Amino acid sequence: MPKFDALIVCVGMCVDGKIEPIETYVGFHVREGFWVNAPLDLQDPEQAGRLRGIVPEIAISSITDRFKVIVCLDGLTLLRMQHLADSIPDIANPAQFDDSVLWWREHLDYANTLQTCLESASIQCPESSDIELEALSLTDTCRVGFRGMMPIRAVAERGRSLMDMRRETIEWIAGGMSQTPPAEVRNPEWKPWRSMSPQAIRRALRTFEAASASPDRVKWLSFIAQAKTAFVRGNYIVAFVLLWFVIESVLNAWKAEHLSVSGNGHVSSARMIQQLAAAGYIDSVLQSELGVLRELRNQLMHQPSSTPCLPFQCARAAQTALRLSLRNTDLDLMLKWQASTQF
């Protein structure tokens, strides 16, 4: 039987004689996985048994009016955004394909935002190992159905992903550990996975509660997560362009909120920066930094074959994009931007 955090109130499957509806969560793992609190010894049947079931033992959970989050012992994170659950399109209807794509993209944006909160909290909490996010695609996720707070079904895309490795190991455990174990158990990579402290996870959930209140901020943080993933893979131009998208989007939002600009024509980013600086919304240091980044963006767009984009330039853009995304909030996010190369 799964164990639930104190924030979860376990309820029955029937309310006033009626069967509760099934609630679907989107499940995912961060880039390299993590254990909650401490690793399990998968060769120990008692410890391994804590992973048995539709989902492993639940370690941390949180319910708000806007979302529900469950974090399992093996780092499987389950997210349900209520407004998306209430507006699901008919995915099986080809006429609603575009609506379905956009609806699913929103799920991934919220999941990516939650990942930024998890990475940041792991860095900020001394009791926790540092973990790293990776922007999600459909194949990186599973869908888990709950009735009340009881998991009753799970569906995942097939492939040799981290999700599949863990599922095969859990199936081996559920089968009594009598058959040949998966390669991940014979040469265990779970054991050295980093551990994330419960304190760090709870901090991440509090941050996510504040960040997820703004759809614009969710989109910005999701793009930052996608840029960071491109950066880790050495795609520095892609990372920089995504970060510039965030910067310009934030500036556009400020202009719409604070400035009364005559005419409906397009305003260049240079002009927009000047207008915001003149109105006092951008100080001289930030204005100068935006000018440097804008110049590189223009060179990448117009002279891509002769314009290098280096890791330090991406990290510089990332710092500015994150700063702008969190401006006028109490949020404090820290992300790692580390590059490497080899031959």
Whole-angstrom Cα distance, residue 328 to residue 198?
28
pLDDT greater at residue 206 or residue 19: 206
What does the DSSP 8-state code read for residue 262?
Answer: S
Q: What is the pLDDT of residues 24-79, one digit of tens each?
A: 999 999 988 899 998 888 788 899 889 888 899 999 999 999 999 999 999 999 99
> Residue 200 to residues 43, 62, 150, 197, 235: CA-CA distances in angstroms?
28, 14, 25, 5, 30
> By mean pLDDT, which of 129-138, 167-176, 257-266 is the weakest?
257-266
Indicate if the pLDDT at residue 21 is higher than 90. no
Query: Which among 37, 36, 35, 71 has a CA at the least distance from the CA of 55?
Result: 71
Indicate if the pLDDT at residue 8 is higher than 50. no
pLDDT at 320: 97
Write out the E strands in the chain. Answer: 14-15, 18-19, 22-28, 34-36, 58-63, 67-72, 77-81, 141-147, 150-156, 194-196
What does the mean pLDDT of the chain come to?
87
pLDDT greater at residue 4 or residue 191: 191
pLDDT at 123: 96
Residue 286 buriedness (CB in 10 A; 0-12 / 13-18 / 19+)? middle
Query: Which among 305, 115, 87 has a CA at the least distance from the CA of 228?
Result: 115
pLDDT at 4: 35
pLDDT at 77: 96
The DSSP result for 109-135, as a single string, is HHHHHHHHHHHHHHHH-TTS-------
Residue 214 buriedness (CB in 10 A; 0-12 / 13-18 / 19+)? middle
SS3 259: coil
pLDDT at 265: 58
> By mean pLDDT, which of 47-56, 158-167, 301-310, 330-339 is the weakest?
158-167
Indicate if the pLDDT at residue 3 is higher than 70. no
64: tokens are 């708000």
pTM: 0.85
Residue 162's pLDDT band (cuts 50, 70, 90): low
